Amino acid sequence: MTNEEFEKRCREEMQQTIPDREALWAQIESRLPAQMPEKASPQKNARPDQILFRVMGAAACLMLVIAGVRLVNRQLPQSGEVSEADSTANTDNTEILQNDGDLPAHDASGDKAEENAPLRYSDLNVPHGNGIQITVPLSMPEGEYFNEEDVLAASACFADVRVTDGWQDTTSGSVHYTLSVVAVYGEAALPETLTLVSDTPYLLELSHEYVLPLRQADGSRAWELTSDCAPQIERTADDKVVFHSGWYSLMEDSTPVLCDQRSKDDYFYDRMYLTGYTAMEQFLQKWEAGTL
Amino acid sequence: MTDAEFEAAVRKISMGDKSGLRDIYDAYADIVYRIFLGKVHHHQDAEDLTSDFFLKLWNIAGRFYPGHGHRSWLTTIARNMATDHLRRAGRELPSETPAQEMADAQRTEDTVTGKMHTEDILSVLPEEEQEIVRLHLAAELTFREIAEVLRRPLGTVSWKYRNAMQRLKKLAEEGSLL
């Protein structure tokens, strides 16, 4: 049985129907309120003097409300200290369910990078001080360059992974990484734990999360980095991504990030940028769909 | 039901027109029922919750913002109602009930007729994978809608679904259910 046939069988079995739909509807209908919701009294039925009093009363209430708001605003912290709840836009339907205790408030702080604020990598929400120790120095082979189009064409998938272990084989110099897979973009069937071997001097760090372009090494089932001649895309704990300027598809609305040069072979430390994870996800979805 | 049709139905409900609720009922009653059944594993409870759901919808339909996905909105309401129901009942796992005994009898008959009993093999998966599979196959949500409901990245949802289906197929094959 093919995968599609199996999925079809599962779907057929899981699509139960209500035993008696009409009986259930009758039950629902019987519980609906008999009266229609109240509507506002039409103004045309009021006497003119009543209308005038209503308008004056409404205006007086409005002025009281405005005065009250101004008084409260003077007592509140300044705009820079607005609470997280106040700063979220109430445009998502999930916000509506807040009073029912259904869902947390939608965080509409958005994925756009901070504007006009030079960031340092050390300020980002990533674990710091988790470098993998190596004793055999690594360097980039001559003549290798990063090219976004080539990487996209050669990659079988992009894997969002967390580094759980790393050690260097001092004989070969290669670093062996153990990665816990968080998400996969593309059709590749990756295991939940992945081992990657790489000679890149742009080391991955323990407990950090990255979005790695991967392909299967020629003639084997082992996975390898499609490109290891540049830093990998890194995901922060607050759903941003740090990437180098070679990923020009991600450059729109990004913010420069100041990084320390990690080694003499680090040619990207002054070309790193920050954008939202959603922007990167949208980019990968277009890549998956072939619409880039 | 398209978003436009749903919004039209919501407008009717806001005007007190029951046909608006009926339109949504016709389109989604079975799906809502399946969401509840997947959570509470009890046919009568699932029916009762479905009834409560549409009553709740009658009251809150006006709070739906047009232009946003109505299917994920409805699914979120249903999931939360199911969670509340299980918490009130003081149980997270299904217990033996007359409905369960009937299901056992049905299962014996279905083995003869060749059904796989997806629910049985689904239960060995982690909770999140079970939910993703149910939301996609039973509730007919797209991966994007599931990602919105579960607040998980789209890549996570689609990858977990593929993994889950591969595992289910293997279990079904090993159990000679195919």
* Interface confidence (ipTM) of the complex: 0.80
Q: Using CA atoms, how far apart are residues A145 and A229, in angstroms rounded to an integer?
A: 6
Bridge partners (DSSP) listed for residue A210: A161, A234
For CATH 1.10.1740.10, list the domain ranges present in chain B.
3-89
List of chain B residues whose C-beta atoms are within 8 Å of the C-beta of residue A103: 76, 80
Backbone angles phi, psi at B67, to 5 degrees: 95, -5
Of residues B79 and A45, which shows the higher confidence score? Answer: B79
Q: Which residues of B touch A192 (CB under 8 A)?
A: 163
For residue B114, the 8-state DSSP code is: T
- The token duo for A82 is 């607005």
Size of interface A-B (CB pairs under 8 A): 130
Task: Please say if the pLDDT value at position B103 is more than 80.
Answer: no
Residues B62 and A99: their CA atoms lie apart, in Å, by 15
The answer to whether B37 contacts A15, with C-beta atoms less than 8 Å apart, is no
Strand A175-185, strand A157-168: pairing: antiparallel
Q: Residue A114's pLDDT is what?
A: 46
Residues 144-173 of B with CB under 8 A from A: 153-156, 158-159, 162-163, 165-166, 168-169, 172
Residues of A in contact with B155 (CB under 8 A): 158, 160, 183-185, 281, 284
Instruction: Say what percent of chain B tops pLDDT 90.
Output: 39
Residue identified by tokens 């299980």 is B86
B19 to chain A, any CB pair closer than 8 A? The answer is no
* Minimum-distance CB partner of B118 among A14, A182, A192: A14
- pLDDT for position A17: 86
Q: What is the pLDDT of residues A207-249, one digit of tens each?
A: 999 999 999 877 777 899 999 888 999 999 888 999 999 998 9
Contact between B116 and A10 using a beta-carbon 8 Å cutoff: yes
Contact A37 B14 (CB under 8 A): yes
Distance from CA of A207 to the nearest CA of B (A): 19
Q: What is the pLDDT of residue A162?
A: 92
Low-confidence ranges of chain A (pLDDT < 70): 34-117, 141-143
Q: Which amino acid is at B76?
A: T
Across residues B2-28, what is the average pLDDT?
93
Q: What is the CA B65 to chain-centroid distance, rounded?
A: 22
Give A37→chain B minimum CA distance, Å.
Answer: 6
Both tokens of residue A155?
């990659």
Q: Which CATH class is domain B3-89?
A: mainly alpha
- Does the domain at residues B101-174 carry the CATH identifier 1.10.10.10? yes
Instruction: For B40-50, write each residue's pLDDT tens digit.
Output: 888 999 999 99
Helices (H), chain B: 3-14, 18-40, 43-60, 70-89, 98-113, 118-122, 127-137, 143-150, 154-174
**Residue B102, pLDDT score:** 44
CB contact under 8 A, A284 and B15: no
Which residues of B fall within a CB distance of 8 Å from A189? Answer: 162-163, 166
Nearest CA in chain B to A26: B51
Contact A9 B116 (CB under 8 A): yes
Q: Does A72 contact chain B (CB < 8 Å)? A: no
Query: Is B116 at the interface with chain A, CB within 8 A?
Result: yes
A100 touches chain B (CB under 8 A): yes
- Closest-CA residue of B relative to A37 is B16
DSSP B66: T
pTM: 0.55
Nearest residue of A to residue B14 by CA position?
Answer: A37
CA distance A247 to A272: 10
Dist. CA B56–CA B24, nearest whole Å: 13
Look at residue A273 in the predicted model and tell me its pLDDT.
93
Q: Quick check: B68 and A10 CB within 8 A?
A: no
Contact A196, A223 (CB under 8 A): yes
pLDDT of residue B88 exceeding 70: yes
Which chain A residues are within 8 Å of B153, Cβ to Cβ?
A: 160, 182-183, 277, 281
Q: Could you report the per-residue pLDDT of A61-89, keeping only the tens digit for each? A: 666 656 655 655 554 444 433 333 333 33
pLDDT computed for residue A16 by the predictor: 83
The alpha carbon of residue A194 is apart from the nearest alpha carbon of chain B, in Å, by 14
Residue B104, pLDDT > 90, answer no
Long-range contact list for A280-289, CB < 8 A, 24+ apart? A280/A211, A280/A233, A280/A241, A280/A243, A280/A250, A281/A185, A281/B153, A281/B154, A281/B155, A283/A249, A283/A250, A284/A158, A284/A185, A284/A186, A284/A211, A284/B155, A285/A185, A285/B154, A287/A152, A287/A158, A287/A185, A287/A186, A288/A185, A288/A186
Q: Which of residues 212-231 of A touch B (CB under 8 A)?
A: none
Does residue B65 sit at the A interface (CB-CB below 8 Å)? yes
In chain B, CATH 1.10.10.10 sits at 101-174
Q: What is the pLDDT of residues B105-160, one digit of tens each?
A: 444 444 444 555 777 788 888 888 999 999 999 999 988 889 888 888 777 888 88
pLDDT at A211: 95
